[in-house]
Every structure is written in structure tokens, then in C-alpha cells.
Amino acid sequence: MTQSPPILVFDLDGTLADTAPDLISTLNALLSREKLPPQPPAAARALVGSGARALIEAGFAAGGAPAAQERIPALVEDFLAHYEAHIADETQLFDGAREALARFDQAGFRLAVCTNKTERLAHLLLQRLGVADRFAAICGRETFAMSKPDGRTLLSTIAMAGGDAKRAVMVGDSKTDVDTARNAGAPVVAVDFGYSDPPVSAFAPDRLISHYDELWEAATELLG
């Protein structure tokens, strides 16, 4: 029987793409509408990986007007609508990511995305960035009955992409990604330029990289 190809499964926000500028701009548009002060990028960046709800709650609290819980669902809906319309205004792939994807693709790897962003927005963003066709599967928060850090989310993504769970590496930027890989029994490469606070090195990933130029060596070492 032909061996299944090795697979790399990437987180999206803070791992493949620097989405913080558009997410923070969306937050500040919402705060402006509510006549609250904008949040500086440096203060809001660490909250980006926690999702829209956490970003909104932190922004309102920092502005001195914590949002009433009954308002949160509507605020999240407004946030996502604005974000979708501006999803790639400033967002870019991290330096070297495009070239790394091409290298692994040409070497016969399967590539996939496993994110807690909604699947629809993940597809849209990757299309706008011109790399959606690189991925055999793009899986988001609603793709499966569970989401990260449940290890079954990673295993299901691998299966959907036609990869081999025994020849898989997770690439992420956060504790959630490290935990997801651990729960799936897969090795994990963490990037240190994402949105983790504390630094992702605190969660003992199998490899830590500071640029996508380092991913080939890290991933192939883990795959043996």
C-alpha cells in the first residue's frame, strides 16, 4: 500500500497571518461607535488570539464601560460583519510563510489549516491572501462538533485533508495549539512571533521557530 503523505496543519491568526491590524481596527470601529476610546495596537495585540468576544469585552472594559452580557451577542455579530468587510485591508502572511508553503507543497506534503476562526472567514481570508489553494482542508470553529484544544479537531482535520496522523506536525502560536497537538498525540512547532501572552515558549512546544525559514528543518526533524 502507498504510504499517506506527511501533513503540516497550521493555525491561522498569529501563525500563518498577522491578522491583528484588521481585528484591532474592527474593535476600534466598534468602540468609536459606542463613543469609547480606541485601544492602542500594542495593548490589544495579545488579546487577538482569544476571539472576538474576549477582544470586545477587553476593549469595552479598558474604555471604562464594561459591556453588559446581554449586549455581547449583538456586539459580536456587528464585529464580525465589519471584520468580514475589512478582512484583508492590512492583514499579511508572516514573512517567509508563502515560500514555506510552496516548499512543503512541492515536496509532497499535505497542508491544512485548523483554526478557531469561523471556517467561512478562514476561507475568505486565505483566498484574499492568495494561498487558499495550497490547503487540502481549511477547518474552522464550526467545521466539527468540537474545537481546539480538543485533539479530535486536529485529527479530524488531518483525516479531511487525506493526511496521516502518524506523520503530522501542528504549527501554531499559542497554548491552545500546543495543547491541541498534545491531545492528538502529534508533535508541535510553535512560532514565537504570534499573539501568545505569556510567550509560547512557556508551554514547551517540541520546536520553537522565529522565522518561516526555520520551519523545514524543524518539521522534518520531528517527522524523522
- pLDDT truncated to tens, each residue of the chain (224 aa)? 467 899 999 999 999 999 999 999 999 999 999 999 998 888 778 778 778 898 999 999 988 889 899 999 999 999 999 999 999 999 999 999 999 999 999 999 999 999 999 999 999 999 999 999 999 999 999 999 999 999 999 999 999 999 999 999 999 999 999 999 999 999 999 999 999 989 999 999 999 999 999 999 999 999 99
CATH level 3 topology of 7-18+91-223: Rossmann fold (3.40.50)
Active site includes 11?
yes
Grid coordinates standing for 2?
502507498
Residue 50: the pLDDT is 76
Q: Who's near 52: CB < 8 A, 6+ residues apart?
A: 23, 76, 79, 80, 83
Paired sense of beta strands 168-172 and 7-10, if any: parallel
The structure's pTM equals: 0.94
The active-site residue out of 11, 13, 18, 206 is 11
Alpha-carbon distances, residue 45 vs 13, 24, 89, 180 (angstroms): 11, 7, 17, 22
